[in-house]
Amino acid sequence: MTRFTLRRYANLSCAILLGLSTAPATLLAAEADFANTRARLEMAMEGPTRTPAEIARDFTERKPVETLEFFRFRHDMKVLELIPGAGWYTKLLGPTVRGSGKLYVAINTDTVEQQLLNQPGFDEVSVLRLPEGMNLRNLEDFQFDVKDLDLVLTFRNLHNLSAQNRAVLNKAVYDSLKPGGLYGIKDHTRRHMEGDTRENGRRLDPVLVIKELLDAGFEFVDYTNLHASPIDGLTLEVGDETVTGQTDRFTLLFRKP
C-alpha cells in the first residue's frame, strides 16, 4: 500500500466531490471578511490563560489563524467545539466570539470546566451534556441541546471513536447545524484502507471520514494541506518521539445542505 496524502487525493476530491473553483476575487473577499475575526484571534492568542507551551505551538504546529480561516470561522458565529480536551482551541475560540457570537463545548469537558471556564473572559461559554450514561465509547442516537449552529469543530478527536459511534456523533452534529452550517475536522492521517494495528490506533483514514460524512448527508467542501507533514511516514504511533508534534494531519470541511 502506498502512502496516502491529501495532496495525492486532490484531483479526485476536486473533480468528483467538489466540482468547484475559487476565483481570485472570491479569495480576496473572504480575506477581507476575515480581517475583524483575525484581529480578535490575534488578541486571544496573547490571552493570560495561555501557557508558554501552548503559545510555542502557534506558528510551528497548529497554525490556528490559518486553520480557523480555512474552516470559515467568524467571530459572530454560533460555534460548537467537540471534545475540547485541555482547551487549547477553547482559549482562542471563547474570547474571539465573546460579545458577538456564542461558543458551546461538548463531550469530555471536565478539564475545561474545572480549569478554564471559571476564568475571566470565558463566562459566556456554555457546556452541552450528553444524555445520562453516554460517553465516547457508548453513544446512542441523541441530539445536542442546541439548534441552528453555524460551525462545529473537532481537532484530533474522531480517531477515538468507533465507526458506529462516529456515525451517531455525525448525525447529532448534522441535526445541530443550520442549513449551510459547516463541520470542520482535523485528525492524524492513517494510510488508506489500512487495517487496525497497535501503531495506527490514533490515526484515521481521511477517505473513510469523507465517506462517512457524505453518508450522514453532508457535502464535502474543501481540504487543506496546512497540516500535512512529509516527516511522518504514517507507520509510527502518533506519540512516538520521532513524529510527535509532526504527524501528518488531514484537515477537512463539510457543509449541511
Which ranges of the chain have pLDDT less than 70? Answer: 1-32
pLDDT confidence of residue 61? 87
C-alpha cell at 190: 492513517
Chain segment 185-212, per-residue pLDDT in tens: 999 999 999 999 999 999 999 999 999 9
This prediction has a pTM of 0.88
Cα dihedral 251, 4, 174, 181 sign? positive
C-alpha–C-alpha distance, residues 184 and 155, integer Å: 8
Q: For the domain with range 6-255, which CATH number is right: 3.30.930.10, 1.10.10.10, 3.40.50.1220, 3.40.50.150?
A: 3.40.50.150
Residues 6+ apart with CB under 8 A from 236: 199, 242, 243
Question: Domain locations in the chain?
Answer: 6-255
pLDDT confidence of residue 24? 52
C-alpha–C-alpha distance, residues 177 and 52, integer Å: 35
Q: Are strands 149-155 and 219-224 parallel, antiparallel or unpaired?
A: unpaired
pLDDT confidence of residue 246? 92
